[in-house]
């Protein structure tokens, strides 16, 4: 237990409460008790870290948390200062604030959590401008005016986005705005299949989809992945619907070959089955030409296309979309009439303007560059320092990389050790639908949400974990 | 076609556009063109109504709509005056409001569809101001900064709302922002019960809840409604969780008596069961004192409170909330960590400001007055012209009234005939969980979303349907 003379701050190392949270609690209590007065400069992160014997990033995390909570302010170049308490409640309210460990929830994403954009790079002011413009010119458009398919301006913007970026020639009338991509998948299933129908899913694949299909009473079948992509359904029970990630297989990362695509479309035509193309992160390719969507290839005859904005906006907007083949429009219209739109209407008009003014694309180009650099950094270090533990395949795309482990090391063991050390390495085996223990061992390493410094620190930890394992 | 010399206002009686909207459009255009200058006094509602040959309430609705939109102001005792246009944009914005490209899908709600607020009365400009303020002062707050429980400012605003309006003493830390009330119910179930557990639901009740419980693999039991509210669970299989609407039973409309409330809380304590209080439309009481929430009564020991903003904002924001008893916080935290927030983050900060600046309450008072008048109009006509077909109980609350049918008339027959005539009368029997054909016959008549004129036309049609049935 470390006791700082000037702060009633005690750090218990054995505790379940993470150290940065203990620091937060200590500082909060000192602010509330008045030991830390308004305007007091906090010790520099480096100094403080040394004094209490923790890493500097732990102190930064704690300070930033307290900035977010309004206990501290941070001015560029002048460190952290204690705020006026203002309307922070001192009596009962506060005892609750201190007692209830809410702070763990507001911390930024931890490397190598997957699928998360870096919202620190987001052009918040440009987005605010787009929203403010709607407020000024067309306030109603935030709350009313859409059909059950969503805001028409946004649907038009998505249609031209898809034409230009994904090779899909769809009219705005075929586009449905959804509350993210899981909502989109749910709407598709409600529209084209029934309880008891057979659904084909990739294996390994996206676990929430596996769970959802089961919860919906669908019969799951699985398609293994080979060098060309998902394998065609075979066997006695053929699916009525398959869900594919042809541009960038989740989680392995490869693109489906043109031949395999043709085979899937032919198969679907022959068996009167439907294909859902989950194009979850096609925005991010770092080299080569973009791979057109299967739905464009298929001319939308058998393929229902699902896209999402969560790779750009994080979960803040909760918006995704479906491109519905003409022949299915009536069914989707019935689904939407029956269950209603689950998407928030408010961001839709602003997003349409954000896209049509080009801000969306400026941001996309900017983050693609940043993410590309982070990815390069990660791959170089993996290549240089981790090749004795496994290997990776470079698909030049996406927001994460799978580091395949050599025999003898279990990804779940690494994940457990990583968690103890405060980092996240999602085990590849958790994306297999099979019974426990099957599937290839690997670590899914998300790289978009973290600076090179943050990635570097996490890689140092990961290296120590591997070294610990091999010396054990 | 009536042409006012001083206003380029033409009323087409045969048009599909309601007359009050035609008035709004005419006045809007005159303000924008400059024909109606800032400070101009509008003709008194009575005079204007006579001049163009419509009812006074139609004119009032139109004027109030334009007040909400910021075209007119209303000063007590001195009528309506034209506002300064300020930053309303004159060209494209306005034409959009008038001519939406997707008429077939954007048609307004049809009487007597239930549970829908009248978004024509919504103060769009005030809402836009709250949003614009966030854009200006704290753009990040639209996309980042919340915990998995949501934006903290909004949670504080909800806590003080609940303290003042619903008698619930909860800290902001106990409040979770959800994507509407069904999402809230889903989160509650994921947190406190498991597949195979028993859920007690009111009968009649909210059909989506019945369906959802079944889809979740829960074992349903039903509680009938008597004069005191839902009856206590009895029988061999006792629920682990009951869902109640104690302030205003859905769909019948009565409030649960204090005795029954005490019984439920005692029952839950004795059986280690949980109560979800679905307080879906408690904002709307038209007489008498507000009925405090069960959760306040219970001091949140056994009761999980669920509220929603959809009765104010329609579905546009998709926001609801849960108040979690202290003892359950850990479980809810795990649920949110596991499944993530489904609520759109973007509106949350703006909504917090909309509430804390009082705009929310000004709007609530205004619509309560309008809805109260619409309700009065509906009940008077039901009483005067429909008593030979059935009866209603006046609970002085809510957004709809149940018109119970005399023996021999089936509500589903009326509903079918109504649909053929272009109106909506949801059959009460559809809210019973029992097999087809059981339950009391009645018509659920929503009255909030429609002007007296619109209600009047729909009542004329309904009357013809009843007359047709009795003469047949």
Report the CATH number at residue B85: 1.10.10.10
Helix (H) or strand (E) holding B189: helix B180-192
What is the enclosing helix (H) or strand (E) of B381? helix B359-385
CATH of the domain at A410: 3.90.1150.10
Distance, CA of B444 to CA of A291 (rounded, Å): 53
| Radius of gyration of chain B from its Cα atoms, rounded to whole angstroms | 24
Give the residue-averaged pLDDT of B238-243: 97
Q: Is the domain of A347 the same as that of A379? A: no
One domain for residues B450 and B401 = yes
Whether B180 contacts chain A with CB within 8 A: yes
Contact A257, A229 (CB under 8 A): yes
- Whole-number percent of chain A with pLDDT over 70: 88
Task: Return the bridge partners of B242, or none.
Answer: B200, B275
Mean pLDDT on B124-147: 92
Half-sphere exposure of residue A375: CA atoms within 13 angstroms, side-chain side: 25
Q: How does pLDDT run across B181-195, given as a tens digit for each residue?
A: 989 998 999 899 988
- Contact residues, B window 357-416, toward A, CB-based 8 Å cutoff: none
Q: Which long-range contacts (CB under 8 A, 24 or more apart) does B334-338 make?
A: B334/B191, B335/B187, B335/B190, B335/B191, B336/A105, B336/B148, B336/B149, B336/B176, B336/B187, B337/A105, B337/B148, B338/B190
* Same domain? B133 vs B90: no
Question: Which chain A positions have a beta carbon within 8 Å of B313's beta carbon?
Answer: 143
pLDDT for B16: 66
d(CA B92, CA A349): 14
Backbone angles phi, psi at A42, to 5 degrees: -75, 150
The residue out of B72, B107, B142 marking a domain boundary is: B107
Contact A143 B135 (CB under 8 A): no
User: How far is it, in rounded angstroms, from Cα A30 to Cα A15?
Assistant: 20
Interface test with A, best of B102, B163, B332 (most A CBs within 10 A): B102
Contact A242, A264 (CB under 8 A): yes
Phi, psi of A244 (to 5 degrees): -125, 155
Measured distance CA(B82)–CA(B68) in Å, rounded: 12
- Co-location of A79 and A145 in the same domain: no
Distance from CA of B140 to the nearest CA of A (A): 6
A and B: number of Cβ contacts within 8 A: 161
Q: Is residue B276 part of a domain?
A: yes
B165, β-bridge pairs:
none
Split at pLDDT 50, 70, 90, the class of B20 is: confident
φ and ψ of B194, to 5 deg: -120, 165
Residue of A nearest to B86 (CA): A136
ipTM of the complex: 0.74
Cβ atoms B305, B169 nearer than 8 A: no
**Interface contact B124-A136, CB threshold 8 A:** no
Of A97, A106, A346, the CB nearest to B317: A346
A19-33 vs A92-99: helix crossing angle, rounded to 10: 160
- A277 — pLDDT class (breaks 50, 70, 90): very high
Percent of chain B with pLDDT over 70: 89
- What pLDDT digit, counting tens, does each position of A379-400 carry? 999 999 999 999 999 999 999 9
Phi-psi region of A433 (alpha: psi -120 to 50; beta: other; left: phi over 0): alpha
Q: Is the predicted pLDDT of residue A374 greater than 80, yes or no?
A: yes
A335 and A389 both lie in a single domain:
no
Is the Cβ pair B317, A344 closer than 8 Å? Answer: yes
What per-residue confidence (pLDDT) applies to A77? 66
Asked if B337 and A144 come within 8 Å (Cβ–Cβ), the reply is: no
Read off the CATH number of the domain in which A317 is found.
3.40.640.10
pTM of the model: 0.76
| Probe site for chain B from A101, A171, A312, A344 (most B CB atoms < 10 A) | A344
Of B93, B129, B342, the CB nearest to A179: B342
Residues B209 and B228: their CA atoms lie apart, in Å, by 22
Contact A119 B336 (CB under 8 A): no
For the cut 70, the answer to whether the pLDDT of residue A253 exceeds it is yes
Residue B135 and residue A129: Cβ atoms within 8 Å?
yes
The string of pLDDT tens digits covering residues B326-343 is 999 999 999 998 888 889
Q: How far is CA A100 from CA A96, B296, B330, B441, in A?
A: 6, 21, 10, 49
Cβ of A128 within 8 Å of Cβ of B122? The answer is no
Check B128 against A148: CB less than 8 A apart: no
3-state secondary structure of B201: strand
What was the pLDDT predicted at A378? 97
Per DSSP bridges, beta strands A320-323 and A175-178 are antiparallel
Apex A397 CA angle, A394 and A403, nearest 5: 40
| pLDDT value for A430 | 92
pLDDT at A303 over 90: yes
Which residue on chain A is closest to B152 by alpha carbon?
A69
pLDDT of B345 strictly over 90: yes
DSSP B335-366: HHHHH---S-SHHHHHHHHHHHTSHHHHHHHH
Alpha-carbon distances, residue A95 vs A28, A88, A353, B152, B301 (angstroms)? 11, 11, 45, 17, 19
Residues 6+ apart with CB under 8 A from B161: B355
CA distance B462 to A300: 45
Residue B115 belongs to a domain = no
Residues 6 or more apart in contact with residue B321 via CB below 8 angstroms:
B150, B155, B158, B175, B176, B177, B178, B184, B306, B307, B308
Q: Which two tokens stand for residue B443?
A: 């018509």
CA proximity to A446, closest of A400, A394, A393:
A400
SS3 category, A73: strand
Q: How far apart are CA B29 and CA A209, in angstroms?
A: 51
Query: Using CA atoms, how far apart are residues A185 and A187, in angstroms rounded to an integer?
Result: 5
Distance of alpha carbon A325 from alpha carbon A306, whole angstroms: 12
Give a yes or no: residue B121 inside a domain: no
In B9-68, the residues whose Cβ lies within 8 Å of chain A are: none
pLDDT classification of B314: cutoffs 50, 70, 90: confident
**Predicted pLDDT of residue A217:** 84
Instruction: Examine residue A120 and state whether it is found in any structural domain, yes or no.
Output: no
Structural domain count of chain A: 3
Give the model's pLDDT for residue A436.
Answer: 59
Rounded (to 5) percent helix, strand, coil in chain B:
45, 15, 40
Non-local CB neighbours of A226 within 8 Å, separated by 6+ positions: none
Choose among B335, B326, B279: nearest CA to B300. B326
**Partner-chain contact A143 B314, CB within 8 Å:** yes
| A417-457 pLDDT per residue, tens | 999 999 999 999 999 987 555 789 999 999 999 999 999 99
Q: What is the Cα–Cα distance from A426 to A206, expressed in whole angstroms?
A: 12
Cβ neighbours around A221 below 10 Å, total: 20
Per residue, what are the HEC states of A35-63? CCCCCCECCCHHHHHHHHCCCHHHHHHHH
Distance to chain B for A54, nearest Cα, Å: 25
**CB-based contacts of B310, cutoff 8 Å, min separation 6:** B115, B180, B181, B317, B318, B319, B320
pLDDT in tens, B363-388: 999 999 999 999 999 999 999 999 99
pLDDT tens per residue across span B384-394: 999 999 999 99
State the Cα–Cα distance between residues A221 and A342, nearest whole angstrom. 28
Q: Is there a contact between A381 and A419 (Cβ–Cβ < 8 Å)?
A: no
A304 and A168 together in one domain: yes
Strands B198-203 and B219-226: parallel
- Spell out which residues of chain A touch residue B93, defining contact as CB-CB under 8 Å: 137-138
| Confidence band for B4, pLDDT divided at 50, 70 and 90 | very low
pLDDT for residue A61: 72
Lowest mean pLDDT among A3-17, A125-139, A307-321: A3-17
Question: What band does A266 get if pLDDT is binned at 50, 70 and 90?
Answer: very high
Mean pLDDT computed over every residue of chain B? 86
Q: Is B123 domain-assigned? A: no
pLDDT per residue as tens digits for the range A20-72: 777 877 886 777 666 777 778 888 888 888 778 787 777 877 787 666 545 67
Q: Is A346 part of any domain?
A: yes
Distance of alpha carbon A326 from its chain centroid, rounded?
31
Q: Which residues on adjacent β-strands are paired with residue B224?
A: B203
Q: Are A13 and A19 in contact (CB under 8 A)?
A: yes
CB atoms within 10 A of CB A41: 10
- Output the pLDDT for position A299: 81
- In this structure, the answer to whether residues A273 and A194 fall within a common structural domain is yes
Q: Does B97 touch chain A (CB under 8 A)?
A: yes
Please indicate whether residue B238 or residue A100 has the higher confidence score (pLDDT): B238
> At which of A325, A359, A393 does a domain end?
A359
B103 touches chain A (CB under 8 A): no
Q: Are residues A354 and A451 in the same domain?
A: no
Interface-testing mutation among A117, A120, A135, with chain B (most B C-beta atoms within 10 A): A135
Looking at the complex, does the CB of residue B327 fall below 8 Å from at least one CB of chain A?
no
Is there a single domain that holds both residue B165 and residue B309? yes
Last residue of a domain, one of B359, B382, B409: B359
Let me know if B401 is exposed, middle or buried by CB neighbors in 10 A (0-12, 13-18, 19+).
Answer: buried
Q: What percentage of chain B reaches a pLDDT higher than 90? A: 61
Q: What is the per-residue pLDDT for B92?
A: 29
Reported as a single tens digit per residue, the pLDDT across B61-108 is: 788 767 755 677 777 667 888 876 543 333 222 222 333 344 334 567
CA A312 to chain centre: 9
pLDDT of residue B2: 39
Distance CA B42, CA A402 (A): 69
Phi, psi of B434 (to 5 degrees): -65, 180
Cα–Cα dist A110/A105, whole Å: 12
B134 contacts B142 by C-beta, under 8 angstroms: yes
Chain B residue numbers touching A105 (CB-CB < 8 A): 147-149, 333, 336-337
Beta bridge mates, B203: B224
Give residue B44's pLDDT.
83
pLDDT of residue A90: 29
Q: What is the DSSP string of A242-290?
A: EEE-TTS-TTT-PPPPHHHHHHHHHHHHHHT-EEEEE-TTTT-B-SSPP
CB contact (8 A) between residue B136 and residue A132: yes
Q: How confident is the model at residue A101 (pLDDT cuts 50, 70, 90)?
A: very low
With respect to residue B39, please indicate whether it lies within any of the assigned structural domains: yes
**Interchain pair B315, A340: CB under 8 A:** yes
Whether residue A347 sits in one domain with residue A321: yes
- Same domain (yes/no): A308, A274: yes
Give contacts of B 110-139 with A, CB under 8 A. Answer: 119, 122, 124-125, 127-129, 131-132, 134-136, 139
Question: Does residue B161 share a domain with residue B14?
Answer: no
Buried b or exposed e, range B107-137, using 16+ CB within 10 angstroms: ebbbbbbbbbbbbbbbbbbbbbbbbbbbbee
Give me the phi and psi of A220, to 5 degrees please.
-85, 140
**Chain A: closest CA distance from residue B381 (Å):** 30
B253 domain residue, yes or no: yes
Report how far residue A472's alpha carbon sits from residue A459's, in angstroms, rounded to the nearest whole number. 20
With CB atoms and an 8 Å threshold, state whether A317 touches B345.
yes
Q: Which residues in chain A have their CB less than 8 angstroms from residue B144's CB?
A: 119, 122, 314, 316
Q: Say whether pLDDT at A93 is over 60.
A: no
Identify the domain containing residue B88 by its residue range: 2-107
Q: What's the average model confidence in pLDDT over B406-435?
A: 92
């Amino acid at each position: 237990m470390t006791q700082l003379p000037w702060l009633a701050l005690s750090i218990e190392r054995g505790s379940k409460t993470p150290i940065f949270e203990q620091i937060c609690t200590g500082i909060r209590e000192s602010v509330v008790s008045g030991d830390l007065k308004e305007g007091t400069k906090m010790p520099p992160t480096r100094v403080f870290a040394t004094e209490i014997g923790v890493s500097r990033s732990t102190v930064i995390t704690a300070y930033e948390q307290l900035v977010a909570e309004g206990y501290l302010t941070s001015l560029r170049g002048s460190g952290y200062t204690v705020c006026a308490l203002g309307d922070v409640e001192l009596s009962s309210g506060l005892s609750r604030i201190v007692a209830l460990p809410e702070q763990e929830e507001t911390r930024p994403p931890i490397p190598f959590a997957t699928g998360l954009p870096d919202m620190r790079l987001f052009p918040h002011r440009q987005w605010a401008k787009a929203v403010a413009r709607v407020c000024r010119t067309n306030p109603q458009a935030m709350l009313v005016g859409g059909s059950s398919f969503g805001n028409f301006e946004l649907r038009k913007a998505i249609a031209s986005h898809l034409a230009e970026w994904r090779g899909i020639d769809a009219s705005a009338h075929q586009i449905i705005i959804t509350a993210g991509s899981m909502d989109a998948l749910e709407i598709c299933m409600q529209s084209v299949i029934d309880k008891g129908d057979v659904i084909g899913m990739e294996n390994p694949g996206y676990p929430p989809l596996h769970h959802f299909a089961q919860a919906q009473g669908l019969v799951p079948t699985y398609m293994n992945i080979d060098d060309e992509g998902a394998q065609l359904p075979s066997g006695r029970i053929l699916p009525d619907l398959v869900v594919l990630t042809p541009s960038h297989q989740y989680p392995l990362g490869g693109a489906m070959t043109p031949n395999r695509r043709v085979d899937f479309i032919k198969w679907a035509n022959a068996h009167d089955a439907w294909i859902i193309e989950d194009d979850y992160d096609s925005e991010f390719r770092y080299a080569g030409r973009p791979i057109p969507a299967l739905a464009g290839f298929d001319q939308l005859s058998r393929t229902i296309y699902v896209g999402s904005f969560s790779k750009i906006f994080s979960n803040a907007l909760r918006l995704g979309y479906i491109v519905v083949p003409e022949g299915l429009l009536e069914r989707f219209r019935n689904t939407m009439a029956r269950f209603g739109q689950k998407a928030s209407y408010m961001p839709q008009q602003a997003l349409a303007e954000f896209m049509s003014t080009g801000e969306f694309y400026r941001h996309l180009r900017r983050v693609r560059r940043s993410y590309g650099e982070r990815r390069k950094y990660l791959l170089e270090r993996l290549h240089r320092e981790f090749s004795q533990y496994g290997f990776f395949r470079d698909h030049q795309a996406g927001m994460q990389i799978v580091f395949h482990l050599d025999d003898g090391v279990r990804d779940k063991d690494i994940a457990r050790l990583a968690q103890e050390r405060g980092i996240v390495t999602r085990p590849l085996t958790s994306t297999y639908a099979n019974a426990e223990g099957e599937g290839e061992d690997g670590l899914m390493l998300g790289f978009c949400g973290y600076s090179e410094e943050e990635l570097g620190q996490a890689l140092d930890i990961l290296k120590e974990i591997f070294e610990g394992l091999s010396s054990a």
